[in-house]
Amino acid sequence: MIIPAGLYTIQNNLQYIAVKLLDPATFQVTYQLKILTTALFSVLILGRRLTPKKWVSLLLLTLGVILVKTSSQKSQESPEFNAQRTLGFLAVLSACVLSGLAGVYFEKILKGSQSSLWVRNTQLSFFSLFPAFFLGVLWMDGESVRTHGFWYQYNVWTFGAIGCQAFGGMIVAVVVKYADNILKGFATSISIVLSSVISIFLFDFQMTPTFVIGATLVIYSSYLYGLD
- List, for residues 129-173, the tens digit of each pLDDT value: 888 888 788 888 888 888 898 888 899 999 998 898 788 877 876
- 45: number of Cβ within 10 Å: 14
- 178: number of Cβ within 10 Å: 8
Q: How confident is the model over 180-223, as pLDDT tens digits?
A: 555 666 677 778 888 888 888 888 788 888 888 988 888 888 88
Q: Do 175 and 226 touch, CB atoms closer than 8 A?
A: no
Q: What is the pLDDT of residue 183?
A: 64
- 168: number of Cβ within 10 Å: 10
Q: For 190, how many CA atoms within 13 A lie in the half-sphere containing its CB?
A: 6
For residue 68, is pLDDT > 70? yes
Q: What would the DSSP string read from start to end of 68-133?
A: HHHHH--TTS-HHHHHHHHHHHHHHHHHHHHHHHHHHHHHHHHHT-SS-HHHHHHHHHHHHHHHII
End-to-end Cα spacing for the chain: 30
For residue 85, is pLDDT > 80? yes
**pLDDT mean over 101-111:** 86
Residues 6+ apart with CB under 8 A from 29: 64, 65, 68, 192, 196, 211, 214, 215, 218
Q: Provide the percentage of residues in the chain whose pLDDT is more than 90.
A: 13
Q: What is the reported pTM?
A: 0.78
Q: What is the pLDDT of residue 228?
A: 64
Question: From CA 76, how far away is CA 102, in angstroms rounded?
Answer: 38
